[in-house]
Chains A and B, each alone.
Chain A
């Protein structure tokens, strides 16, 4: 055996041992990566949620009547814009007039809200959630959430568009009334929800749902909302659209 042959054999054995070690260490991770890559490709086509939204007529108001007089209303609102403006860097500005009425139809409060909405491309690039309509050409720009307080309690709410920047094709909203809250029923209200819903409600908490104290559960249960539908007839007084949400995953940005 020559020295050269000895070193060659030794080098081969070292490389072989390193390969075995690397395979042992990294093959589970590699396998996991391949599995995740496959499932993430499938996930790209999946939707996370769908919601009914109501597109406002630019020239006349849309109104909603609550199921009971409320102090607090949650509004989720967004503009939809022309496809060719989806990358507009300066974003979009629009204004809403919100009027609240009591049970006798008397106006009890009015708010003018001017909102800035990021362009669809910016929302898509910076967030985890993307929103779209399956059956419409407009693209959805940045969404806003408004909380409107009313004192005295309001029986109805009305919205009108008072300003809409060029390129905004529609303004859509969802309206939620604050659910009546009974201190004595917080635990049963919480327990009536599925395990997944309890986990979702408690996700900001340090402890899992079964370890939450009564006060913590009361705080979670207090923040519950019920959707309200608009007055009138679909197609005549308002346009209902179905908004889809999907989770943005790596790879999707390139496809867009």
Chain B
């Protein structure tokens, strides 16, 4: 590869990632209200996403949920479901890939407050063959920009949870990965403070599947510390995560993955294609 190509290629890749992010991320600032959802909405969204993941979405069903459908304008084939630009209903944004994708969903329920997690999820989706991606469309905490914020990871009847459940029902052997961010300085234990990734499946007894993924990440990211809750730390186990609980209780799904990334690793991941590819390979292997 020539010196010029070494400069241009990363810029093209970064541009494509930024394009996916721009396509999917409505500005958090245009916020008005956030809807935690109801049982009826949840049931309708679950059915809509099941159809969308298995075949094709029903435009009317999506519209009833306040979601518009647009075709992808990135280098992947599929659709984007999102609310009207400028609306801050917090229904979330969803990318569904067409064809025969990997049974992998990459999500970021706290983009914005957990810096870079939305960009990392978008880029991992674009760079892997993941079947779907999703993230929040309203901020986690209310502010001047949006006075009715929502914490999706605590909403068991939200469209985002219905999407996760529909995915688990469509791909029962697949993986639903949630990307979060943590601040090492705020952690209590030395292990968590020094970790780059804290991985859990939202239970006190991590499954063999989770340990396989943790081992892959440990090897591929060595010597960065990748630690497992609760074996190596008692913090950030996602025991109260709504999606983890609903997937487990309503679908018997054991493929939920809660990935907490350190601030340092997140900053590196948005810049470093190779580092991101190593995580992407582990996620793909885990979803096979």
Given the complex of chains A and B, what is the CA–CA distance between A197 and B188 in angstroms?
9
* Size category, B interface: 20 to 34
Which residues A187-206 have CB closer than 8 A to chain B? 192-197
Given the complex of chains A and B, what is the CA–CA distance between A13 and B231 in angstroms?
54
Given the complex of chains A and B, what is the CA–CA distance between A240 and B231 in angstroms?
19
- Please determine whether B223 and A229 come into contact, CB atoms closer than 8 angstroms: yes
Given known A-B contacts A134-B215, A197-B190, A50 and B231 have beta carbons under 8 A apart = yes
Tell me whether B12 is interfacial, beta carbon within 8 Å: no
Mark each residue of chain B from 219 to 230: 1 if its CB lies under 8 Å from any CB of chain A, else 0. Answer: 110110101100
A40 to chain B, nearest CB (A): 15
Complex interface: chain B residues within 8 A of A45 (CB): 205
Complex interface: chain A residues within 8 A of B188 (CB): 194-195
- Please determine whether B231 and A196 come into contact, CB atoms closer than 8 angstroms: no
Given the complex of chains A and B, what is the CA–CA distance between A134 and B193 in angstroms?
26
Tell me whether A106 is interfacial, beta carbon within 8 Å: no
Tell me whether A216 is interfacial, beta carbon within 8 Å: no
- Please determine whether A134 and B223 come into contact, CB atoms closer than 8 angstroms: no
Which residues A118-160 have CB closer than 8 A to chain B? 134-135
Chain B residue with minimal CB distance to A229? B223
Tell me whether A33 is interfacial, beta carbon within 8 Å: no
Given known A-B contacts A134-B211, A134-B215, A242-B215, A52 and B189 have beta carbons under 8 A apart = no
Which residues B191-232 have CB closer than 8 A to chain A? 193, 205, 208, 211-212, 214-215, 218-220, 222-223, 225, 227-228, 231-232
B230 to chain A, nearest CB (A): 9
Chain A residue with minimal CB distance to B215? A242
Complex interface: chain B residues within 8 A of A242 (CB): 214-215, 218-219
Tell me whether A36 is interfacial, beta carbon within 8 Å: no
Tell me whether A48 is interfacial, beta carbon within 8 Å: yes
Chain A residues touching B, majority SS? mixed
B203 to chain A, nearest CB (A): 12
- Please determine whether B190 and A194 come into contact, CB atoms closer than 8 angstroms: yes
Tell me whether B101 is interfacial, beta carbon within 8 Å: no
B156 to chain A, nearest CB (A): 28
Tell me whether A49 is interfacial, beta carbon within 8 Å: yes
Given the complex of chains A and B, what is the CA–CA distance between A240 and B221 in angstroms?
10
Which of B193, B214, B219, B234 has a CB less than 8 Å from the CB of A196?
B234
Chain A residue with minimal CB distance to B219? A240
A192 to chain B, nearest CB (A): 8
Tell me whether A30 is interfacial, beta carbon within 8 Å: no
Tell me whether A115 is interfacial, beta carbon within 8 Å: no
Given known A-B contacts A46-B205, A135-B215, A193-B190, A52 and B231 have beta carbons under 8 A apart = no
Tell me whether A234 is interfacial, beta carbon within 8 Å: yes
- Please determine whether B228 and A52 come into contact, CB atoms closer than 8 angstroms: no
- Please determine whether A234 and B222 come into contact, CB atoms closer than 8 angstroms: yes
- Please determine whether B220 and A234 come into contact, CB atoms closer than 8 angstroms: yes
Complex interface: chain B residues within 8 A of A193 (CB): 189-190
Complex interface: chain B residues within 8 A of A240 (CB): 218-219, 222
- Please determine whether B219 and A50 come into contact, CB atoms closer than 8 angstroms: no
27 contacts between A and B (CB under 8 A): A45-B205, A46-B205, A46-B231, A48-B231, A49-B231, A49-B232, A50-B214, A50-B215, A50-B218, A50-B227, A52-B218, A52-B219, A52-B222, A134-B211, A134-B212, A135-B215, A192-B193, A194-B188, A197-B190, A227-B225, A228-B223, A229-B223, A230-B223, A234-B222, A240-B218, A240-B222, A242-B218
The 4 A-B pairs with the shortest beta carbon distances in the complex, nearest first, are: A229-B223, A194-B189, A194-B188, A240-B222
Known: A195-B188, A234-B220. 4 other contacts (CB 8 A): A46-B205, A52-B225, A135-B215, A193-B190
